[in-house]
Structure formats: C-alpha cells, structure tokens
Amino acid sequence: MRLWQKVFLATLALFFGIACSMSIVYLKRSSDLMWKREGEHAVTETAYIAGNVSFALTNARLKEGKLVYEENELIENIVEICEDQVTDAYFLGFTLTDKTGNIIAATRDMQEIAYTFPASETAQYVLEQQGDRFYIVTSVPITMEMYRYVIKALFDVTDVAQEMENQKVETILISFITGIIITIFLVCIIRSMLKRLSILDRQAREIAAGSYDKRIEEKGNDELRDLSHDMNELAGAVQEKVQKLEKVAEEREMFIGDFAHEMKTPLTSILGYSQMLELLPSLSLEQQKKYAGIIREEASRMKALSSKILELTVLHAETIEKKRTDIRKLFEEVNISVQPVFQEDGKSIAMHSEDVFINADETLLGSLLYNLIDNARKAGDTGGEVVVLAKADHDNVIITVSDNGCGMCEEEMKKIFEPFYRVDKARSRKAGGAGLGLSLCKRIVELHEGTMHIESEKGKGTIVTLTFTRVEYR
C-alpha cells in the first residue's frame, strides 16, 4: 500500500471519527442550549405574565382609591384578572398558588399543573414529556400587595422538540454528504487547506480580541469561505450590538437632562413670580393673588406635563383624550408663563390668535407650544423676537412660530426630528436643552392628527407651521 493511500485512509478514518464526535457533541450542546433557551424564555414569559397581573392589580386598586387590598379582596381581583388572560397554542395557561400550594386562581379552562417544584425564592422550570408531546413547566415567585404567591405556567414546546429532531437528521445528513465530498479532495488540498486555516485562525483571533471592524478575507467557494462569511456576519452582529448598547447608555444618561428641559419653563415661571412676591412686598393683594394663581397653575401644568411626557416617551401612548380647546385662551396662558424667561434673556415675544378652536389635549398642546417657543428663544441672540400666530384657514387652524435667530442648513434640517439631536450642541447645552424638544413636538402633532412643517435659512431664522383640523365653537 502506497504512502498516499495510508495517509488518505488514516486521515479519512481520523476525519470520520472527529466528524462523528463533533456532531454528537454539537447536537448534544445544541439540544442543551436550545432547551435552556426555551426554558429561560418560558420563565421570562411567566415573569412577564406575573408582571401583567401585578400591574393590572395595582391599576384596579388605584381606580378603587385604596392604598392596599385585604387578602380576600386581593384574591377576588386576582381571580378576575386571571380569568381574562389570553392563552394560545404555545402558552396553555397558568395557576396562581399561595405559599401552602393551594390554587387560588387560574386561567380559563386551566386545571392543576401536576408537577411540584421544591420550595425556592427563584424562578424554576422543568421539561416534561407526555406521550409524543413536550411541555415546559415554570414556577415564578411573585409578591403582590405584601403577599407571596407562586405562578406555575404551562408551555407547549412540541414544535421545538420536532425541530430539534429534524435538526439532528439534517446535521447527520449534511455531515455525511460533506464527509464524502471532502474525502475525494482531501489528499490534494490538505496542505493548502491547513495554510488557509492558519490564516483564518489568526484573523478570527484578532476579531475575538475586540477588533470587530475587521473582516476575514473570503476566498474560494468552499466550507472555509462559508465559515469566513459566517464569522464576518458574527463580527458585524457583535459590532452592531455594541454600538446599540453604547447608544442606549448615552440616551439613558441624557434622559434626565431631557426631562429637566421639559420642566424648565414652568419652573422658571414659578421662580420668577415667587421672587416677585418675595422681593416686592408692596404688591397689592390682588397682584399677590394673581401671581400666586399663576404659580399654582404652572405647578399643576408641570405635574400634568411630567405625566404626559412619561406616557409618550416610556409607554409610547397611541391615543389621547381630546376636548374642544380655545387657542386664544391657551395663547394667553402660554404668553404669561414665558414672559419672565424672555425678559431675563433680553428678548421679546408676540402672540396673537384669532377666535379659533381645535380638538386637543390642552396639556400636550401647551407643551408643544412651550417647546417650539423655547427653541425659537434659544435660537436668537439678545434683542431677538419670537412671533406666534394662529388663524383659521377654511377647515383648518394654522399656527406659526417664527424667529429671527441663527436658522439651520439643509443637512441640519434632515436630523432635527431625531431624538437627542441638537443643531448647536454648545448653545443647546448652555441653554439647558438636550434635543428632545422637536421629537416630542412631532409625536404630539401626530397624536393630534396634524402636520408640522419647518422652513429655515442659515442666519435668517426659522418658521414652524402647524396645521390642525378646526372645530366650531358651540
């Protein structure tokens, strides 16, 4: 027997031995990882359901005006909430038990889950097989109204088990076919393959060391090329995740500044009028009452506004409650509130409205005006002027906010609605802005089914035009 034949047979035997071993390990590891992932996903789903139950319970308690439920009231509400939970082919239902294991609530048509978990303060799950069906049973402890309960949920993962079985067959088949192909070309390409593997290993180590922007050179049209492509895809995915995490971290850090940005106008108004009350003791009783009333109104607006901001930016509200709003009256309130900050900056503002009405959430519409006026104020230098007008135009109400400030170029105009984008970061940071204003304005206009159009020219100023559907006063 010739040497190449010995090398071939020895390498072939080694390859098949390694290939079989790796397939077994891969399938076992894939199976373990997949079941672990499914188990963790089921636990997450159960925790999410528990959170929904707790959230619904809290809402019910707040609607009833109670600080805390008695246990019998708590159980009654839990039973009602659980009966309304929606199940599907994957999530079959859940039961809620007390610390002694007694079932106190369950989803509709859900019987007792037979599996008993050991007592634990952490979430647990187990895979069960009944006939040809596979299930994951989870147990998640939860505290509601100072009482400890356990949610046990049942998930049907038979499709996952079938998919894993198919994956085993496919893996074995692919391994076998690949083995046959490789054995044909093994001796001829063994040296070049080892050389290319060496290069691939070095480049992969560079990526693993943190150079996610590097890519492995993809040569040829074989498995090594596919592996190079997959590793490049993996490096790109990791790089994208890292960038997203960095962006999320930056946005979270800026959120406090954004919230302060929204609160600044009412706080400035409150501070200005409170200083008048403190420094001008000669004010008449009528003036004192007027200023105190403005402070009270601004404090109430700030409270309502904070709630709306959280609703829009955190809960992503899709609908709002609207009522007939007098634009002229709203202009008067906004004008009174912003006068102190304009006087402090040495700038002026003029606001005029025709006798027009629209259906709107008055708090959000006020926030819209405050944001646009505040942006216009910050865009101008000392002596600058902001003009706000509202007029009827057939079936619409047109509101314009114009300034003679620094203006914007075309490139800046393309990005102004991006959250946290600031045209002049130095100016915005100095003035207390954080780039949330226009993105919030855009969202408020969308919720009112209106439109917003911005025209701007560098060095000349900006005009913001809002269009809303007009309603008749009755």
pLDDT per residue over 135-172, tens digit each?
Answer: 888 888 888 777 788 888 888 888 888 888 888 888 77
What contacts 335, CB < 8 A, 6 or more positions away? 349, 351
Q: Provide the token pair at 21.
A: 């071993």
The model's confidence at residue 328, banded by pLDDT at 50, 70 and 90, is very high
Neighbours of 160 (CB within 10 A): 19
Q: Which of 190-194, 334-338, 436-440 is modeled with the greatest confidence?
A: 334-338
Q: Poorest-confidence range of 13-27, 82-96, 143-157, 181-195?
A: 181-195
Cβ-defined contacts of 210-215 (< 8 Å, 24+): 212/236, 212/238, 212/239, 212/242, 213/239
The model's confidence at residue 435, banded by pLDDT at 50, 70 and 90, is very low
* Total H helices, total E strands in the chain: 10, 12
What percent of the residues of the chain are helix, what percent strand, and what percent coil, each to the nearest 5? 55, 20, 25
C-alpha to C-alpha distance for 389 and 326, rounded to whole angstroms: 14
Domain with CATH 3.30.565.10 in the chain: 246-471
433: pLDDT strictly greater than 50: no
Report if pTM > 0.75.
no
Q: What angle do CA 363, 271, 274 make, to 5 degrees?
A: 110
Domain with CATH 3.30.450 in the chain: 3-163
Residue 453: predicted pLDDT: 92
Domain 3-163 fold is Beta-Lactamase (3.30.450)
Mention the CATH class of domain 246-471: alpha beta
- State pLDDT tens for residues 257-310: 656 666 776 788 888 888 888 887 777 888 888 888 888 887 876 775 666 566
Residue 196: predicted pLDDT: 65
Phi, psi of 164 (to 5 degrees): -65, -40
C-alpha to C-alpha distance for 372 and 349, rounded to whole angstroms: 12
Mean pLDDT of 33-62: 84
- State pLDDT tens for residues 449-468: 899 999 988 888 899 999 99
Residue 168: predicted pLDDT: 82
